């Protein structure tokens, strides 16, 4: 019975890996243009919505999944550092809007150890 349980656990681990290596590491260092650090990822900027108290930035990962980043309007309460050129000033015509020159550009999303977004940087 003991050996059967161990064998079952072994096969479940193999099946859950989907044929991928069970070696430690994120594999990003050998996968082309993906960043090597485990708390970073390449994202694309498609849209943002500006509210009075915060701005909601929408990004897309390489696998087309959405990443939403909320930045508070008051600088002393903001916990995420964003590039200043993602939005263009609305001036007298209303709130700020998306800078069309930045749409579909690539950015680097940086997270802390808790998985919270701390910074978004432009990819050169």
pLDDT digits (tens, 9 = 90+) for 38-94: 688 899 999 999 888 889 999 999 888 999 999 988 877 778 999 988 998 877 677
Q: Which residue has the tokens 């997270």?
A: 111
Asked if pLDDT for residue 23 goes beyond 70, the answer is: no
Average pLDDT, the chain: 75
Sign of CA dihedral 89, 90, 94, 96: negative
Mean pLDDT of the region 89-101: 80
Cα 17 to Cα 25: distance, rounded to the nearest angstrom: 14
Band of residue 124 on the pLDDT scale cut at 50, 70, 90: confident
Asked if pLDDT for residue 34 goes beyond 60, the answer is: no
Spell out the residues 6+ positions from residue 33 whose beta carbon is closer than 8 angstroms to its own.
Answer: 42
User: Which residue did the predictor score with more confidence, 50 or 9?
Assistant: 50
> Which residues of the chain form beta strands (DSSP E)?
40-50, 54-61, 66-72, 87-88, 97-98, 106-111, 117-122
Band of residue 1 on the pLDDT scale cut at 50, 70, 90: low
């Amino acid at each position: 019975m003991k050996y059967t349980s161990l064998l079952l656990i072994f096969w479940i681990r193999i099946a859950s890996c989907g044929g991928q290596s069970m070696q430690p590491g994120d594999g990003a260092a050998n996968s082309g243009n993906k960043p090597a650090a485990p708390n970073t990822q390449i994202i694309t900027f498609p849209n943002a919505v500006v509210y009075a108290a915060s701005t909601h930035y929408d990004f897309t990962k390489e696998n087309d999944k959405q990443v939403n980043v909320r930045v508070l309007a008051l600088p002393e309460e903001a916990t995420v550092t964003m590039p200043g050129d993602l939005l263009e000033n609305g001036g007298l015509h209303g709130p700020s809007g998306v800078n069309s020159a930045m749409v579909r550009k690539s950015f680097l999303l940086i997270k802390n150890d808790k998985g919270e977004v701390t910074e978004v940087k432009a990819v050169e």
